[in-house]
Structures are given as C-alpha cells and as structure tokens.
Structure 1
Amino acid sequence: MIKNVFSQNSSPIELKSELNCFLISQKQTAALVLYQSVLTDRVGESWVNLLESLIYSHNNPAHCLNCLQAYGNWFKALAEINLGWQEYLITRILRDENPFSQQVQRQNFDDLPQVLLDAAAWDLRMLQGLYQLDNKWLRDCVERSASDRISSTLSDNHPPLPIVPATWSKNPSRGLKPAEIEIYTKFATAEDWVALLPDLAGYYRQCGTGIFAEYQALRWQSGELVGIKTPDPVRITDLCGYEEPKQQLIKNTEFLLAGYPALNILLYGSRGSGKSSLVKGLLNQYSDRSLRLIEVPKSELQDLPQIVEQLRDLPQKFIIFVDDLSFAEDDEAFKALKVVLEGSVTARPSNVVVYATSNRRHLVREFFADRPRPKDADEVQSWDTVQEKLSFSDRFGLTLTFEPADQETYLEIVRHLAALAQIDIPEDNLDYRALQWATRHNGRSGRTARQFIDFLTADLGN
C-alpha cells in the first residue's frame, strides 16, 4: 500500500519515488493479458489518462494543469457509476469476460491449461498493484503538481487556492449483490489475490460473467441481449389464487435449477389472471440460485434459435419468457418457436426452458375458410394443416390453465393484497368496495384486484 503523502516541499528523492510509482502503475496497466477489458470503459480510460498526465507533468511542468483535468475526468467517471476506485476494480474483475472466466464455467478448475491459470494469476497480481494505490495520495500528487504551477503566477500576498476536491469514495458494500459481497470481502482483505484464483473460478461458475453477472433479467432487443436494471419486483408470495398451476410452475422451475429435465410451459387463461406476474415472480424467488429471465418480444421470436445457442453450456439456468403469444398464418416466428420446442438436429440445451403466456388456447389463428370442403381443390391433405395449427400448443410439455376468477377467488385476492399493503378497514367494507370496483372497471381478475388496492392505498393516504 502506498502511504506516502508528499508535501509541496517534496525533496528531489521523494519526487523521484513518486514518479517511479506512476511508472510502475502504468506498466501494470499495460501488462494485463487476459483482463485488459477491465480498464477499457470510461473509468479505466480516464485512469490511464491520469497516469499519463502525472508522468508527463513531472518532465514538463508547464503541462501540469492537464493533471487537474485528467483527475476531474477520473473523479467524475467514478461518481457517475457511484463506485470507489477499489470497488470499481473488484467489480470489473468479477464481471469480466475473458478466456479464463469463460472456460472455467464449462470445465473444472483443475482441468484448465496451466498457461491460462498462470496468465490469470499474473493479471490478478497486476490489478492488485493498482488496487493498492491510495486515492488520497493520488489527489495530493495532483494538487501539489498543479498548485506549484499556479502559485508561481500569483503574488506573495495572494491566499492559497484550493485546487482539487476530496477523493471520491463510497461504502464498499453498498450497491453490491448478495453473491458479490462475499467474494468482494475476500479480495478487499486478501494479502495476495493470486491465492483467490479458485474462489474467483467458483464465483464465475455460480454467477456467470459479463451481462449475466450484472443482470438477472434481460431482454432480447435488436439482435442482442440488453440488461434490465429495474426488473419487476413482484414476488410469488404476492400472488394469491390459482394455487394448482402456481405449484406446477414452481415445481418445474425447481427441476430446471436442480439439473433435471424440465418442460416448456404454456400459461393459458383469461386476461389479468396473473400469468405474466407469476413467471416474473420466479426470478425474484430463485435469482440466488443462478436463474436468469430473458424476455423475448413476439416481433423477434425468429431469433429464438440464435438466443438458445448463446445460452448453451453456460452454468446458469434460463427462462425464455414470451408474453401474450399468438401467431398469424405463415408467421416466421411460428417456425422458429417450433424448432426450439421440438428440437432439431442440434440437441436441446438442458439449462433453457420457454415459458409463454397467452389468452388463446389455440396459438395459431384459424379461420372457417381454412377448413377443407369437398369442393375445395387447393390442398389434398388440408386437414393435416388444420391439425398442425390446432396442436401447436401441445408442443409445450405442460399447459397450465387459468380460469376466470369467480367472486370468492377475486375477493380472496383482494384481501391478500390488502394485507400486504397493510390496509386496515373492515372486511365487509373492503369486499363491498372491491365488488363495486370490479363492476365499474375491468371485471373480476387479479389485475383488477391489484388496481383496486393501488387506488385504495392512495385514497386512504390522502
């Protein structure tokens, strides 16, 4: 750990030591072989520029003001992501995609090539050197360099000018996911990061890397996966009613997480019955068990085979979520989903399932004109075409049905949500107002119950 804080009257020997520290840090930054992308974002680039400015200003005092701008850019970049320098480095290591972090997810640590392990150990040693740089020392170096230059242009009677603000710092545990806190603590307290290589490998196998380490919920958008920063916080325990299909969905998801064969599921039923919320609630219940949810819009279902191939052989488990599913005739998405559900020459990955919701029992629209008549001469085996359309939903391994809510089910949902919202009014009054709401609005359903409770919460709060 660099602990020296040089004063404005630093001796030539101290200045030389200071310059050597900058040069060593610059070499450590340049010497990375696997973890190069750790420092390729805005924070990393501003860090490299700061080192270059500090080194350059030692040899060219007239350019020392560049250090102020470089330090400001680095400070701002850290503030924008709300991370301190040390936390930033560890977080980037935990999420970095490189040959080591990718291969260790697919094979045992002891089976990795020794040269790959040596390269990972080398990079951890270099990054630990950067981690040990004291922020306050860096700030003082910048301030001393700039203040010397500015002071020389001022009169002796001019008061000293504040040059550099305080160092950017942040509570290290704030903002980290539960799975990250344990490994972060080990890095923050370890004397030698190389000894943590097996722990780091275990973290990669459990939590993944890159976008899968940073996000639990993702969306397929314009040909790529995009992380969802604020996924729906709904939880399984928030949802009431439909206990039988709920338990079947939970059991199938637990099969997936345990590594057993799991079925693709179609959740079919009336609108507002909580089908989508139930699927999203699975993520909040099982995200600590390496579950990821990927939402794919109907307009991009033709990319499903491509998505599945990206997920194959990863240690995480994936639910591909398709909401409000239905198809028109000759829809390309229809063919793509058939390939994923039924398989092709390529084996179906064991870590991926498709959960789709629909208000239609028959997902492909059929018209009376589609049905064959003796006088028609368009297609000899036209009944086969009709049956293919009608049986598409059968290609899901399991179909869960959500019937329209009767009055008692609707009131049960209302009472459950009212208890969660801590609404304290007599039950008969609650039931009466809930039934009035359903009559005047969208009928009896879980969605209507949620809307009623949201309105009642706000109304009682006024």
Structure 2
Amino acid sequence: MDQDLNYYHLIHQKIASLLLYQSVLEDEVGQAFLEILDLIYFRNQKPIDINCLQVYGLWVKSLASRCVSWQDYIIRKILIDDNPFSQEVQHNSLENLPQPLIEAAEHDLSILNTLYNLPLEAISQWVKEAANVSFSPFIAQFENKEQTFLHQTDNWENCLPELAAHYRQQGTGIFAQYKALKWQDNQLIGISEPDAITLKEIVGYESQKETLIKNTKILLSGYSALNILLYGSRGSGKSSLVKSLLNEYSCQGLRLIEVNKSQLSNLPMIVDRLRKIAQKFIIFVDDLSFEEDNDAFKALKVVLEGNVTAKAKNVVVYATSNRRHLIREYFDDRPRPKDADEIHHWDTVQEKLSFSDRFGLTLTFQPANQDTYLQIVHHLASQIKLKIDKNELEFRAKQWATKHNGRSGRTARQFINFLQGELAIEGGRS
C-alpha cells in the first residue's frame, strides 16, 4: 500500500508541475479527476469518506456522458489545446522555435503520457482505500475509439514533429474542435452537428460546382482566392454546395463560419479575428440582399474591396442570393427632373446595381428543367439505393413537383426523403 501511495503522490506532484498544458484538465472530466486525487490526499480525515466515492462517480459519469475512455479523453484534449507551443508551431517550424518552449512541451507531454498510462484498476483501488470501504468502485473501461499517433507510441516526448503537423493542419482551440462555426453575441460559437451533405450528392450544376471547388483549392493552397456570389433560383442547391465544401476539405484545414445578414456590420471584426489563424475560412452569408446601403452594406463592401488594412489571404466570402442586384431598387430611387437633391443621382443608382460585381466571381444557377430535375432525382435515389421502378420513380417525381414547389434540387431531395420513408413503412407492413 505504501508503494501505491508513493506512486499516487508522484502523480499528484507531476500534474501540479504542468507548464503549458494545464487546460487539458480544466473541464468537467479533468476537474473530477483532480478532485479525486485531492480527496485521496486527505483520506485520513474521516473513517469513511463518502465525498471521495461521489467525486469518483462524477468522474465516471463525465466520461460516460462523452462515451469516451480516459485515454481518448487525454489525447483529444492535447490535440485541441490552445497554448504557446501549439500556437507558435502553426506558423513556425520546430527548428525555429525557442528551445525552452520545446523543452516545456516535452516536459508536459511526458506527464500527460503518465496519466494516459494510469491503470484504472489502480485509481479504483486508491479510492477504495481513501474512502475506507470494503468494495472496489466501478471501473469505467470504455473502449478506445481513436487511433492517432499518440495512441501508437509509448513515448510522447518523441512525437513533437507529428504533433506540430497536426496543429498546423487542424488548428487549436475552437478551430480544432469544430469544422463549422457561427458568429453570435460578438464571438465565434462552434456548431457541433453541421450539415453532413457531400459534394457527390449535388448534381445538375457541374460547371458552377467545378468553379467553386477550384477557387476553394486555391484558398487552401495559400493563394489569393476570390469572393463568390452564388446567384439563382430558390432550391437550386447554392447553399448546399457551399456547405458540402466543408465536409470535403475540413481535413485540409478548411473551416466555415456562418454569418447572418443582420450581423454583416461585424464582418471586418470577424476577418481581423481570423487573419492570423493558420486555417482557411469561408465566411458563408446565405440569402444575401439589402434594403438600402446601410452599415451592413458598407461593412461587406470593405471586406470585398479592402481598405487600408491588407486583405486576409486565408478568408473568402461565399454568399448566396436569389437576386442578381443585391440592393433593392425602387421606382422612387430613379432620378426625375424635379429631384434637385443630388446632381449625379444616376451614379448612386449604379453604385447600388453594381454591388454584386464586387464579388470576384458570380455563379449563376438557372431554374432546373425537367431533364435536370429528373437527373437529380435519379442521383439521389441511387445514393440511398432506393428500390423502385425507374418509370414509376419519374412519374411520381413529376407529380410531386407539380403539387409542391416546382422543379428544383430542393424539391427533388424532399421528394426522395418522403418516398424513402413511405416505401420503408409500406415494406414493414407487408
């Protein structure tokens, strides 16, 4: 027992000496683990320490709520940790980092490697002795679901090159934890379950798709990509196409940030927040239009055209709209002889009408004809291996478009989703 307690004290001291990776143990799981250690330390205060058992239960519950093993938890936290080493190594090679920073990272990884290798049976035994009970608390043996380079080595101090490459590719903090984010209350918020649509699900607009992909690859390569306006009929898949890029290229460091029209005045602030981050960003504005040239209009204009501050090469704006002219123009806006308020009134009108030209590219999505609509229907049906006669599928698809929202990619997807459920129910009844 004394030998076990000495080992426990060593663990306690090592955790206290963490230099860069203290935040690995800052959340509910880590804090519960630290509290277990603290209560074990003061185990002689009570004949039976109920608190120790309760905190151990909280630790197990926290792991269970994440369906994660203690080992996976430690590694996940390391891979997203935002600290001086993980920040610097995204912009500089290991050879160019200060040696004390490298040594501090190695020091902490060695300690965290020790925590990773802690036998759960030993922790349960410590709690049993500290609480002075006759039974061993439940051992939470969750399966390790991930296999990273940290899982596959016994010495994490030797993994700095792989860890540096991971940080450069996937980032740290919120940008490592989430692929999709949104701007809310003047801060970036992670989206835990982004739309899972993929590029291969989208058909019917191949040239627009190819251009958007090519521009995104230019962004990912570190060159100056263009801001793009996706203009066209409703339901043609403009938004889905933008969102599908994230699922295709997030592993290459692409991130998507959703900004509502009402938040466009914050765009310069958002871009400044992103410009020094190693990842590449699509700022996604859906259904863009303006009632007038207000602050939102001016903020977007600054981001598209630039100002005194240099353009951020790691950020592009992809916006969708059903309107070719993004600022609504009314008949009252047109100059008339009696209008003496502005000498060059037509210049103002043209400023409004030409705003969409400030995007580097405009991709036009025409309404789907019947052939395109049926092509999309067949493609979606084949994706889910829908078992139905081709002629019946086309007949029902045409009926659906007539009765509902007309021919479009959105209508095709709604039809296939409904048909899949309908066929499944009918099959279950037979």
The answer to whether TM tops 0.5 is yes
* Counterpart for residue 35 of structure 1: 21
In the alignment of these two chains, the number of paired residues is 425
> Secondary structure of the residue that 2:312 maps to in structure 1?
coil
Q: What is the percent sequence identity of the aligned residues?
A: 56
Residue among 91, 97, 116 paired with 2:76: 91
Q: Does residue 110 of the first structure (1) align with residue 95 of the second (2)?
A: yes
Deviation at 1:410, TM superposition (A): 1.1
Q: Distance in 2 between matches of 1:378 and 1:230?
A: 52
Q: Does residue 342 of the first structure (1) align with residue 305 of the second (2)?
A: yes
Deviation at 1:61, TM superposition (A): 4.3
Q: Does residue 252 of the first structure (1) align with residue 209 of the second (2)?
A: no
1:158-237 matches, within 5 Å, as 162=135, 164-165=137-138, 167-172=139-144, 174=145, 176=146, 181-186=147-152, 189-190=153-154, 192-237=155-200
Superposed CA deviations along residues 140-169 of structure 1, whole A, max 9, x for unmatched, are 2212443xx456xxxxxxxxxx4522x112
Q: Distance in 2 between matches of 1:76 and 1:294?
A: 33
Superposed CA deviations along residues 437-456 of structure 1, whole A, max 9, x for unmatched, are 11111111111111111111
Deviation at 1:54, TM superposition (A): 0.6
Q: Distance in 2 between matches of 1:429 and 1:291?
A: 41
Superposed CA deviations along residues 27-68 of structure 1, whole A, max 9, x for unmatched, are 1111111111111111111111100111100x3343533221
* Counterpart for residue 10 of structure 1: none
* Counterpart for residue 290 of structure 1: 253
> Secondary structure of the residue that 2:75 maps to in structure 1?
helix
> Secondary structure of the residue that 1:452 maps to in structure 2?
helix
Deviation at 1:184, TM superposition (A): 3.3
- Structure 2, unaligned stretches of length 5 or more? 426-430
Residue among 77, 81, 86 paired with 1:101: 86
* Counterpart for residue 120 of structure 1: 105
Residue among 357, 365, 374 paired with 2:337: 374
* Counterpart for residue 428 of structure 2: none
Deviation at 1:102, TM superposition (A): 0.6
Q: Distance in 1 between matches of 2:137 and 2:103?
A: 40
Q: Distance in 1 between matches of 2:213 and 2:11?
A: 51
* Counterpart for residue 36 of structure 2: 50
Deviation at 1:428, TM superposition (A): 2.2
* Counterpart for residue 50 of structure 2: 65
**2:140 partner amino acid:** W
Residue among 362, 374, 378 paired with 1:411: 374
* Counterpart for residue 130 of structure 1: 115
* Counterpart for residue 11 of structure 1: none
Tell whether the 8 Å contact from 1:95 to 1:214 is kept in structure 2 after alignment: yes
* Counterpart for residue 285 of structure 2: 322
Superposed CA deviations along residues 392-421 of structure 1, whole A, max 9, x for unmatched, are 100000000001111111111111112222
Superposed CA deviations along residues 280-319 of structure 1, whole A, max 9, x for unmatched, are 1111111221111111111111111111112113221111
Question: Closer, same or farther in 2 for the Cα pair 1:150/1:94, shift >3 Å?
Answer: closer
Q: Does residue 25 of the first structure (1) align with residue 5 of the second (2)?
A: no
- Structure 1, unaligned stretches of length 5 or more? 1-13, 152-161
Q: Distance in 2 between matches of 1:410 and 1:393?
A: 28
Tell whether the 8 Å contact from 1:301 to 1:333 is kept in structure 2 after alignment: yes
Q: Distance in 1 between matches of 2:71 and 2:119?
A: 9
Give the TM-score of the pair, scaled to structure 1: 0.89
Q: Distance in 1 between matches of 2:414 and 2:234?
A: 14
**2:142 partner amino acid:** K
1:447-462 matches, within 5 Å, as 447-462=410-425
Question: Closer, same or farther in 2 for the Cα pair 1:63/1:31, shift >3 Å?
Answer: farther
Give the TM-score of the pair, scaled to structure 2: 0.95
Deviation at 1:238, TM superposition (A): 0.7
* Counterpart for residue 159 of structure 1: none
Superposed CA deviations along residues 361-411 of structure 1, whole A, max 9, x for unmatched, are 011111111111121011122212111111110000000000111111111
Residue among 259, 262, 273 paired with 1:310: 273
* Over 6 Å off, 4+ runs: none
Q: Which is worse superposed, 263-272 or 277-286?
A: 277-286
